[in-house]
Structure 1
Amino acid sequence: MCADQVPPARAEESLPLRLTLDDSDSPSDVVDALFLGRFATGEQPYARSRTVDRVKSGLTLLPPGAQILRSARDDDRSATLAEGDGFTVLISRWNRGADVTVTAVTDALAEKVLGQATDGAEDEPAPQPENVPMGFWYFSPRRGPHRTSRQITAGSWEEVRANYTAPVAEAMDRLMKVSPEEIAGRLLLLHGPPGTGKTSALRTLARSWRDWCQVDCVLDPERLFTDVGYLMDIAIGEDDATGTGRWRLLLLEDCDELIRGEAKHTAGQALSRLLNLTDGLLGQGRNVLVGVTTNEDLERMHPAVVRPGRCLARIEVGPLTRPEAAAWLGTEEGVGREGATLAELYALRRGSHPTAVPTQPQGRAAGLYL
């Protein structure tokens, strides 16, 4: 080495760590900061992490030989910092879920300790015939784009078919039987007044398609198409490890502002990104469908959304006619001349006026007819 050459600085020296805490930080924030120390200095340069959505009851997630250094609990989160021979582990828990991160002196040790802490920790309820696994995406201020999975209850199409007027039922008959080979358009559009059963139909569709399609509901669609990073995480995701070419259906509910006629002006690039996901470059090579529900009339929708070839199905979900509603209810009492929505029929069955707000849920059917 020449005399005028300066040896390269180590990573921890070229990027010094400086943390500032004030009274707005919680004890959990302090635990998080302490955990970074050994990784930042290079003492434990390898890190591995894993999320467990539903931790089995009674598990601490502490690996063997770990000794607790700090433990803090806030209103909605707890943080535990522990160490063992050559490793440090941070366990952040919320409700039933947890994030586990391990730093260690070797990559193999980090992977081993993480496995000891999390292998077999996921609580998998026994599958039921009427249950369907559904993912829920949302943007977390702490973790960024995040997906959690739940088992939801969904009736079979034969059980719920009578909840829809004849033209809708016939259209849904065809949709329920769609196979991957028959997919042409990538957009599934259900529109119509509130309370006609659009959400219930999508739950049943998830059950009908569960052998070949994973259904994910986006809880904050208004952010999805304005945050490019969030959109890429959801749309691109990871390659299908099974090699089976499994499809994904992203559900976006109540997206009136996104697809109405003036959307291009009011929503900026959001509409363009939605369309790009269905049949543009973003959607190329990805088996992704987008299901949208809206209360908008067809005439008010942006023409780009409803153009031929874009929609796999475009179904207007309206109220049942008076004869259909009377047959569903078993009486004509309370049914108007124009018929009734599914929500109104459930209200009549409960013995309340259709416009009344129920004081408490009534049975399994309550809340499934939005």
Structure 2
Amino acid sequence: MRNPQLPFSVAIDDSDTPRDVLDALILSAFTTGEQPFAQTKRLAKVLKTASLMPAEGQLQRVATDNGVRSHLVCGEGWTLRAVRWQGDSAEVTVTATSDELATRILKEATRNAKDSRKPAKDIVEMGFWHMTGHGPRRDNRRITTQSWEQLRRNYASDVAASIDKLLEVKPETMPGRLLLLHGAPGTGKTTALRALAQAWSDWCQVDCVLDPESLFASTSYLMQVALGFDDENKRKWRLLIVEDCDELISASAKQSSGQSLSRLLNLTDGLLAQGRSVLVGLTTNEPLASLHPAVVRPGRCLAQIEVGPLPFAEASAWLGSSAGIGSQGATLAELFALQRGETGLVRVAPEPRVGHYL
């Protein structure tokens, strides 16, 4: 397609959306050199009432697609495109005839746009990264979670003691950058991470990577995540959570996932980690012995915690009864199922056989 507003040809088919057209239009004046200066700002927690437009200028295009809203605004010597994603995160790009003009328009468009209100005590703000047709994207969500004090009884005493120590960690006392939670499904690994996100919220932003296979396969995606999203929040530490990453960190990871393991380790203590306040939290159902030795070597991990079932005595105390609990104890998921009366869903370990004696 050739458009008089575009100085270049653009091929559009039925896989493209109006948003793609706006992405092309913002490049027009920059491509010709008419507006040779460009600046971009990314924001998390944007107020729903924020217009993301300066007072001056004329609205040219608006595109809404599955809850994602984009608009294009033009003014004397400048062009602005803003994209607001679900989850209240946004990106604003300005091209202009001078760097000073681009700075002024960008500042006006984003002034007072950020929601600076502190969430309630039972709410923690988390980002969710995933790759889209428009590149890496981070959605900000508010997650409800109980405090660790409320959740502590759901874990075996030795596990709870390990998490107690983890919650006391501060940036200035960071012994490692890799956090590893391993154990059987249903033991509460994800719940513990939500409580950790709440406890660390004053100094650490927690993000969850939904497609780790894409993250560690793409250097551009990895760099975007490593650099962060919110331009105003880069002084905070960041914890990147990668759940159920069994294949990524298994003993055969080098053969099965190529450079993915190397890139993961580089993000924690390699060159990529230098100058970046980034922690990586991994969860896996695999036992520690089956993981790659490079992952569990001394000095690399901030913590290695096995989150296992509650022993028989602690599980019985949690439930208030020993009915349905096997001699090996029960996972948190099994205890909740027993509490609801869903005995048919619970795995009960067989009792040891008793021999016959003369």
**TM-score after normalising by structure 1:** 0.80
3-state secondary structure, aligned to 1:190: strand
- Out of 134, 156, 160, the position equivalent to 1:165 is 156
Q: Which residue of 1 aligns with 2:8?
A: 17
Matched, 1:101 2:93: yes
Structure 2 residues without counterparts, runs of 5 or longer = 1-6, 347-358
- Out of 24, 35, 55, the position equivalent to 1:33 is 24
Query: What RMSD in Å do the two structures reach over aligned CA positions?
Result: 3.0
Matched, 1:335 2:325: yes
- Out of 324, 329, 346, the position equivalent to 2:336 is 346
Q: Which residue of 2 aligns with 1:235?
A: 226
Is the contact between residue 178 and residue 303 of structure 2 (CA under 8 Å) also seen in structure 1? yes
Q: Which residue of 2 aligns with 1:266?
A: 256
Alignment-mate amino acid for residue 10 of structure 2? L
Distance 2:36 2:207 in 1: 36
Is the contact between residue 85 and residue 139 of structure 2 (CA under 8 Å) also seen in structure 1? no
Is the contact between residue 70 and residue 81 of structure 2 (CA under 8 Å) also seen in structure 1? yes
Matched, 1:218 2:209: yes
Distance 2:173 2:35 in 1: 52
Q: Which residue of 2 aligns with 1:3?
A: none
Matched, 1:89 2:80: yes
Question: What are the residue-to-residue correspondences of 1:1-370 with 2, within 5 Å?
Answer: 17-95=8-86, 96-142=88-134, 144-236=135-227, 246-353=236-343, 355=345
3-state secondary structure, aligned to 1:265: helix
| Aligned CA distance change for structure 1 residues 109 and 132 (closer, same or farther; 3 Å) | same
Question: How far is the alpha carbon of 1:165 from its aligned partner?
Answer: 0.9
Distance 2:317 2:288 in 1: 28
Deviates more, 1:320-329 or 1:21-30: 21-30
Distance 2:170 2:73 in 1: 50
**TM-score after normalising by structure 2:** 0.83
Is the contact between residue 276 and residue 282 of structure 1 (CA under 8 Å) also seen in structure 2? yes
3-state secondary structure, aligned to 2:293: coil
| Aligned CA distance change for structure 1 residues 242 and 269 (closer, same or farther; 3 Å) | closer
3-state secondary structure, aligned to 1:305: helix
Is the contact between residue 344 and residue 354 of structure 1 (CA under 8 Å) also seen in structure 2? no
| Aligned CA distance change for structure 1 residues 221 and 330 (closer, same or farther; 3 Å) | same
Question: How far is the alpha carbon of 1:253 from its aligned partner?
Answer: 1.0
Is the contact between residue 70 and residue 83 of structure 2 (CA under 8 Å) also seen in structure 1? yes
Count of matched residue positions in the alignment of Structure 1 and Structure 2: 340
Structure 1 residues without counterparts, runs of 5 or longer = 1-15, 357-370
1:254-289 CA-partner distances (Å, limit 9, x unpaired): 110011121121111212222233333333444433
Distance 2:268 2:325 in 1: 40
Is the contact between residue 343 and residue 354 of structure 1 (CA under 8 Å) also seen in structure 2? no
Question: How far is the alpha carbon of 1:295 from its aligned partner?
Answer: 0.1
3-state secondary structure, aligned to 2:299: coil
